[in-house]
Structure formats: structure tokens, C-alpha cells
Structure 1
Amino acid sequence: MDVSFQVYSAREATPWEDVVKDIADLGYTQVEGFGGVYGDAGAFRALLDAHGLTMPSGHFFPLGAFEGDLERSLKVAKALGMQRMFCPAPEDLWRNGTDAANWIALAERLETACKKVNDAGFAFGWHNHHWEFMPLPDGRIAMDLLLEHAPSIDWEMDVAWVVRGGADPLDYIARYKDRLTTAHVKDIAPEGDCADEDGWADVGQGILDWKGLMAALRGAGVDLFVMEHDKPSDAKRFAERSIAAFKGY
């Protein structure tokens, strides 16, 4: 079973040589990249190769990475052997609260970027947080606007952030199954627990019904599953517990 690990989860557990070895030893076969490992993409690719890992997907932030910096981003993606490139978050304007017009404008930029990335041979998509599910002043939901006005983009669903945004991931999986390709597998701690980890939990240790969610995601055709924890106090513990739980789903 191929299981991926978002290396952002281990950004405070470096050196990367130790992180990559631990991930491989635990049974992961894939990782997902972020900007912190792109400085010398060739060297990081060699490290992955040495441990039998691949990097099918990566995060590139901000959206300018697919606009003015597109050439560099594509070079990084090629060096690391990616097939899917995701923009992982909006910038401050959208995080701090804005209107539907600005979300539609963002969607139009994503659609333009998507065509360029697709033309270069890569899939392109959006990774959500909670901002996309908070009702806008006119009552609309930003995630719906992004998918409507950027009809070519894929969606990497971060399921736990959907829940934190107050939405039902099963509803979104059912409605947008043709757009979903990749999922972040992350858990939410019971109320009051794991305060030092921003309320996140290792997969299988939290409140989400991952068995049911996995059935829905697989049914929608999702074929890349990425373990992630935004702030683990022990990245190796998170990696070990999470892959063990995931194998039961």
C-alpha cells in the first residue's frame, strides 16, 4: 500500500536525512514536498532515491509560484519527479476575510495557472484550509466559488480543515467527486486535548471517522493519501501512529 507523508509535518524534526530515513523505515513509500525542501531539489531527490521514496506531489506557495515564478516551480517539480502540483493556501487578503468578488478573482487566476501547469505536463490543484468554508458576506461559500470559476483545477481535500471550517466533508466528497484526486489524512483531537499541538491529533487518535471517510474518498476515485499534522510535538510518533492507523482503513 502506497502511503505519502507531507514533510512539512517534520519541519522541526530535521536534519532531513534522519527524517527521510525514519519515514522510509516506517513503511511510507511517498512524500509530499513543500518549500522547505526545494532549495536544492537535486540533493533532496537523491536522498529520497536512496531510501526508496518518491514525491508524486508538492505544495508551492504563494500562487505567484505558478505565475511569475512558474519556470522555477516547474524546474523543482521535474527535479523531484512530481506529477501533481498544488497551491496550498490563499494569501492574507483571503485569510483575513474578503468578499465573493475577490474569491472569484482568485479562482480566475487559478484557472489561468492550471492551463499553464497542465501544458507543462503536470496536474494542478488547490489545497484547502478552513477559510474556504466560512460563509462570505453574501452567504456564499468560497470553496464552491473556487471550483465553479476554476473548472479545470483538481482539489486536494484537507479533510480535517473542512471540518474545522464547519462543513461536512462527506457532502463535499459526494458533490465534487469528479474534482478530487488527493487527500490530506489528518485528525482533530477531542475538545481540550493536544492544546500544545493546536488541537490536532495523530491519525486514528482523534475524533474523525477515518474508516468512513476513506471509503468515501476511495469511492470518489482519490488515489493519493498524504498523512499530515500541522504541529506535532513528536513528528516520528505522529508518522508511526498514523501509518499504523491508516493501514486499518
Structure 2
Amino acid sequence: MSPSLIGPAVGSGSSSPRCRPGATPYPFAVDVERAIADCRRLGTDMLRIGMAPMSELRTEDTVVDYAKRTEKAPQSLAGEDITLCYDNHHVEFAKINGTFILDILAEEAQSMGREIDVHWVQRGGLDPVRTLQKYADRTAMVHLKDYRIGALSEDGVEAYDANPWNETFMAHFLGVVQFAELGEGNLDFASIVPTAMDAGAKYLLVEQDRLYGRTVFEAPATSHRNLVALGFKDLF
């Protein structure tokens, strides 16, 4: 069955007061019955961890420890036919002792699937198509989100004119990367979408973190229009 571009998925919550000290802070890891009930009520068979706490990603030991604790959740949910996935950002493509954090998580939490976000893959310095192919065996969801280089602000131009390559200018210079409507940035969705489907993704989720003055209605309308123009109308 072909994946849907928009489908139900439940994200992890914030810290739960029921978590024991040292436990992963996502409620479903310590309250599986609640997680199952939430999924049944919402009609979804998928959960995701939106991002690990930054304190868990500091060293190889903390990453491994976090992954081992987190692994208990997908194992508990598997009997209920509920899949748990991890949603990457760019920080998981930092290397510790030559290995991506995302790969350490995958190795130590082998029951956990992936929710690949192509914008953050690009921001992490990797190619989205090759990354989807690499992680095809466990990718259940894909975030479709474009990557755009915006214009340097007037403040940035003035900072450069005042003193080229100063700290203020560099902050503006490095901050031109933007989230974008699909088809309005630099990513090749004509290749990304078929690759995501070949990778076995059940849902392709259109997402945009910031709108830069556009409305929540205008942005998805633009993404929809551009995806249709690329030939993906039947996926909606």
C-alpha cells in the first residue's frame, strides 16, 4: 500500500512526574498502558520520540545508557502492534568516536524505528536521499520539510559594512538557513519522495517549523501545490 503524505502520529510528551530518577523522561516508557490507551483513542499505531534530552547526548556512555533505557518502550509496545520511532534533528549526526549518535541509538535500541526528517539531515551535512536509503530497514515515517537559504538581513549587511567578518555579522551570516515550504527551498523532492516510499515509510508528514511571516494556511497550501506539480497528487 502506498504511504499517505498526511497520517496520524503521536509524539512523546514532556517529563512525567511518574518517572523514576534516571529513567527516560518520556511518559510511555514508564506508563505503557497510558500510551496504548492514547493510541487506541487516536486511532494510531505509531508513537515517536521527538528528540532525546540534550543531556543524554553528551557522551557515548550517556547515549548508550539512554538508548538501553528507551529500548524497553518499543519492546513493551510491540505486543500491541504499536511502533515507536525516533525523530532525528541535526545533533544526532554529531560523531562520537567516529560514529553518528543516530547510529549508536539504532544499535543500542534495535526495536525502535526511525522518523527521518530530511531538512535536519541536510542541515546535519548529509544527503537526504542517501540517508533514507541507509536507514531504509527501519524508517516508518519521514518528515518532508524543505531547506532554504534566506537573504542576509539588513542588520547583517550593516554589520559587515561596519566591520567585515565580525561576531555580529557572523551570527547573521550563519543564520540564513530557513525552513521552507516544499518546493521553495533546495531539496530535491522529486527524488526524496520516491526514495522514502521505497524505504517503506508508512507516512510522509509535511512539516514546517517556522513560517517567516506566512500563515499556517498559506504554507501547507504552497507545499501541496508544489507536490502536486511534481506528480504526487495521488499520495494525498
Match of 1:106 in 2: 66
Return the offset for 1:214: 1.2
Contact kept? 2:151, 2:176, Cα under 8 Å: no
Return the offset for 1:147: 1.1
Match of 1:2 in 2: 4
Contact kept? 2:114, 2:139, Cα under 8 Å: yes
Once residues 183 and 200 of structure 1 are traced to their aligned partners in structure 2, the CA distance between those partners, rounded to angstroms, is: 16
Match of 1:174 in 2: 133
Match of 2:201 in 1: 222
Matches for 1:76-155 after TM superposition, within 5 Å: 76-94=38-56, 98-136=58-96, 138-155=97-114
Equivalent AA in structure 1 for residue 74 of structure 2: C
RMSD, aligned α-carbons: 2.3
Contact kept? 2:12, 2:27, Cα under 8 Å: yes
Q: Taking structure 1 as reference, are residues 66 and 122 closer, same or farther at Cα in structure 2, changes over 3 Å only?
A: same
Deviation >3 Å, runs of 4+:
191-198
Matched, 1:237 2:218: yes
Equivalent AA in structure 2 for residue 91 of structure 1: P
Cα deviation digits, residues 110-130 of structure 1 (max 9, x gap) = 221111111233111111111
Equivalent AA in structure 1 for residue 54 of structure 2: D
Q: Give the secondary-structure state (helix, strand or coil) at the position aligned to 1:112.
A: helix
Once residues 74 and 108 of structure 1 are traced to their aligned partners in structure 2, the CA distance between those partners, rounded to angstroms, is: 21
Match of 1:65 in 2: 27
Contact kept? 2:71, 2:110, Cα under 8 Å: yes
Q: Give the secondary-structure state (helix, strand or coil) at the position aligned to 1:82.
A: coil
Contact kept? 2:51, 2:88, Cα under 8 Å: yes
Structure 2 segments unaligned to the other structure (5+ residues)? 15-24, 154-171
Contact kept? 1:198, 1:231, Cα under 8 Å: no
**Percent sequence identity over matched residues?**
24
Matches for 1:11-26 after TM superposition, within 5 Å: none
Structure with greater Cα Rg: 2
Once residues 180 and 33 of structure 2 are traced to their aligned partners in structure 1, the CA distance between those partners, rounded to angstroms, is: 37
Q: Taking structure 1 as reference, are residues 185 and 193 closer, same or farther at Cα in structure 2, changes over 3 Å only?
A: farther
Cα deviation digits, residues 56-113 of structure 1 (max 9, x gap) = x11113442222333323222211111111111111304xx51111111122122211
Aligned length, in residue pairs: 196
Q: Give the secondary-structure state (helix, strand or coil) at the position aligned to 1:182.
A: strand
Once residues 128 and 184 of structure 1 are traced to their aligned partners in structure 2, the CA distance between those partners, rounded to angstroms, is: 10
Match of 1:36 in 2: none
Cα deviation digits, residues 124-165 of structure 1 (max 9, x gap) = 1111111100123x2321011111111111111011111111
